[in-house]
Structure 1
Amino acid sequence: MANLYAYVGAPSFIGAVEPRLEAAGFKRVQDVASASLVVTFCTSQTALEDLYFGDDGLVTVMAPGAVLIDLSATTPNFAREINAVATVNDLVMVEAPLTVRSLVADPAFGTDNLMAPVACEGDVPVEAQALLEAVFGEVRDAGAPGAAQLVRAGHTLELAAHLVSVIEAQALSDAVTRSVGTAGKLDVRLDGHEADPVVRALREKRFVGAYTVEMLLAELSSALMAADDAELILPQAEAMMHLLELLAVIGGADMAPAALTLIYHEEAEGAAAGLDWTRAEQAYGQRPSEEDDWDDDFADDCGCGHDHGFDDFDFSSN
């Protein structure tokens, strides 16, 4: 008999992995209360809190003994909090934050591109372990609750830093080439780095994909909140967050992370890809080219514990 599981979260993810789960003997049901396993994947801290602790939250509606498997990005502290509440309610909490090996892989949710650091109060239930192994190419024991989120946060910071570094290297090459008017002489275009997946994604203009800017923002936001909890400042991560938030504001929340390069391109090229810089004007009160007070506009609280400047802006609207 198939193991029954329910899923709550991003549709693009379950759409990609459901065939693998079916092949492994798992059947998806819509009624959360009837499932012995519930998999969750939220792309914001607020959504995750509401899902678990809001009215009719999972910790109150699940039958005793049920297993909750959360793939969302959050802080180690909040992961421990979810685990504690689940335990009090006779539930088993498995912390397994979705972690991609590459931000630009296609397909993003292919088995080889997914790994899951896993943390649990005790042993991971057999059926939960089997489900994770059907989805992820690598399932790694991280230790006690909170540890898996810490592993995921460190991995996210490394990937995002590499993405931005490659994009800015290419942007510099393009800008200098244009400014001196020697397209055939100075246009190096990161020669010698063709094997780098980010370089290839930029050259192929891979701006659409299942793993989105919104998902990367959720991961960076949780990493920054974890740093706040530890009274640590991460300037590079803050800068990366600003750039991704700006891309989200102008319409890129559902684009692939490689689309961040469009921030450095001419406005017309971004418009051709569906971006609208007037949305930044609505959010910040001026265009990015107007440098006066631009930094100050980033100083409004976005709700993640850091000052970014558009807490009430709807990233998903077009």
Structure 2
Amino acid sequence: MCETSSHQWKGAETMTVQKEDVVIGFVGTGVMGKSMASHLMKAGYRVLVYNRTKAKAEELIAQGATWMDRVSDLAAAARVIITMVGYPKDVEEIYLGTDGIVHHAKPGAYLIDMTTSKPSLARTIYEEAKKRSLFALDAPVSGGDVGAREARLTIMVGGDEDAYAAVEPILRVMGTNVIRQGGPGAGQHTKMCNQIAIATNMIGVCEAIAYAKKAGLDPSRVLQSIEAGAAGSWSLSNLAPRMIAGNFAPGFYVKHFIKDMTIALEAAKEMGLMTPGLELSKSLYEELAAQGEENSGTQALIKWFDKEFAASV
């Protein structure tokens, strides 16, 4: 079960994190992380940053963020540490490696992993952090690059209630829909629900646009009619216009979506749950990635349908 009772452990006491005395360390300043860290600085927090490629942090440094050369140095200097990286293996290394956060953060620090990762890994990090009097939360997000830029992310949180309450004001700087779902791992499980829903929805969005083209309709005009009705969804409103315009720049990478679907499938199989829609979506995205689209945005799935459309003409 994901839910655990709220409690404190010896050597660490939760407390309200005050803006004036908190230093936030932010690891991962890519498409999403850059905007999220920027909002924290604009809200008045002092922010330390680390990224494997320093060039991706230059904009934040210019805004006033402090660059740290090593994750271990950032962990030792920050009261709250937020991570937004790519894959579970990255999360594991950053948190549990010899030079990682768990080994170098000061007792009483809050560790918030906002990467979409494995629920089982979130629970492992929680337990290892607890041994060192650290408070760990898993808090993956939804909303894409637009939600990150506009500070309108949905944030799904797993972890102890008192730790969540302490950092909730920080999370609300980056998102508008912030909900604690339960104990450690619950945030990641909730994100899997989100990704499963998106996976099948993306197929529907692409099929609808392909159908409109085949019927000789203007896809943009069709979108004006259907996005306001029962077919409406975030993907239809935000990604379908990019599909129609041929804009495949990543708000969320194809390769990362495949990673998420793989995690969801593994978790579903462990629970004995059948997910045929998820399996189909993953297979289509893997075919798309094999054609060189792994670094495109998820809206590039329309290319698979356009290929089929062209072949049928």
Same structural fold, with TM-score higher than 0.5 when normalized by the shorter chain = yes
Residue 261 (structure 2) aligned to one of 208, 220, 228: 220
Whose helix fraction is larger, Structure 1's or Structure 2's?
Answer: 2
2:206 is the counterpart of 1:167? yes
| 1:173 CA displacement | 4.6
Aligned partners of 1:108 and 1:209 also within 8 Å: no
Q: Secondary structure at the match of 1:265?
A: helix
Q: What CA distance in whole angstroms lies between the structure 1 residues aligned with 2:179 and 2:119? A: 17
Residue 192 (structure 1) aligned to one of 212, 225, 232: 225
Residue 210 (structure 1) aligned to one of 223, 229, 251: 251
Q: What CA distance in whole angstroms lies between the structure 1 residues aligned with 2:285 and 2:150? A: 26
Q: What CA distance in whole angstroms lies between the structure 1 residues aligned with 2:151 and 2:161? A: 27
| 1:210 CA displacement | 3.0
Q: What CA distance in whole angstroms lies between the structure 2 residues aligned with 1:96 and 1:56? A: 22
2:157 is the counterpart of 1:130? no
Cα distance, 1:8–1:233 mapped onto 2, change above 3 Å: same
Aligned partners of 1:97 and 1:152 also within 8 Å: yes
Give the corresponding residue for 1:77: 120
Gaps of 5+ in 2: 1-19, 49-67, 229-235
Give the corresponding residue for 1:301: none
Cα distance, 1:184–1:90 mapped onto 2, change above 3 Å: closer
Give the corresponding residue for 2:273: 232
Q: Secondary structure at the match of 1:107?
A: helix
| 1:2 CA displacement | 5.3
Q: What CA distance in whole angstroms lies between the structure 1 residues aligned with 2:108 and 2:79? A: 8
Aligned partners of 2:157 and 2:179 also within 8 Å: yes
Q: What CA distance in whole angstroms lies between the structure 2 residues aligned with 1:233 and 1:194? A: 29
The one-letter code sitting in structure 2 at the alignment partner of 1:206 is N
| 1:91 CA displacement | 0.9
Cα distance, 1:62–1:252 mapped onto 2, change above 3 Å: same
Q: Secondary structure at the match of 1:78?
A: helix
CA RMSD of aligned residues (A): 2.9
Q: What CA distance in whole angstroms lies between the structure 1 residues aligned with 2:140 and 2:284? A: 23
Cα distance, 1:256–1:80 mapped onto 2, change above 3 Å: same
Q: Which moved more, 1:137-146 or 1:202-211?
A: 202-211
Where relative contact order (Cα < 8 A, 6+ residues apart) is larger, the structure is 2
| 1:115 CA displacement | 0.8
Aligned partners of 2:210 and 2:305 also within 8 Å: yes
Give the corresponding residue for 2:16: none
Cα distance, 1:253–1:184 mapped onto 2, change above 3 Å: closer
The one-letter code sitting in structure 2 at the alignment partner of 1:50 is E
Gaps of 5+ in 1: 178-182, 270-288, 290-318
Report 1:33-44 matches (<5 A).
33-44=76-87
Aligned partners of 2:24 and 2:46 also within 8 Å: yes
| 1:113 CA displacement | 4.2
Q: What CA distance in whole angstroms lies between the structure 2 residues aligned with 1:266 and 1:74? A: 32
Q: What CA distance in whole angstroms lies between the structure 2 residues aligned with 1:209 and 1:6? A: 25
Aligned partners of 1:109 and 1:210 also within 8 Å: no
Cα distance, 1:95–1:110 mapped onto 2, change above 3 Å: same
Q: What CA distance in whole angstroms lies between the structure 1 residues aligned with 2:177 and 2:227? A: 26
Q: What CA distance in whole angstroms lies between the structure 2 residues aligned with 1:49 and 1:26? A: 27
- Percent identity over the alignment is 25
Q: Secondary structure at the match of 1:169?
A: helix
| 1:126 CA displacement | 5.3
Aligned partners of 1:3 and 1:25 also within 8 Å: no
The one-letter code sitting in structure 2 at the alignment partner of 1:66 is A
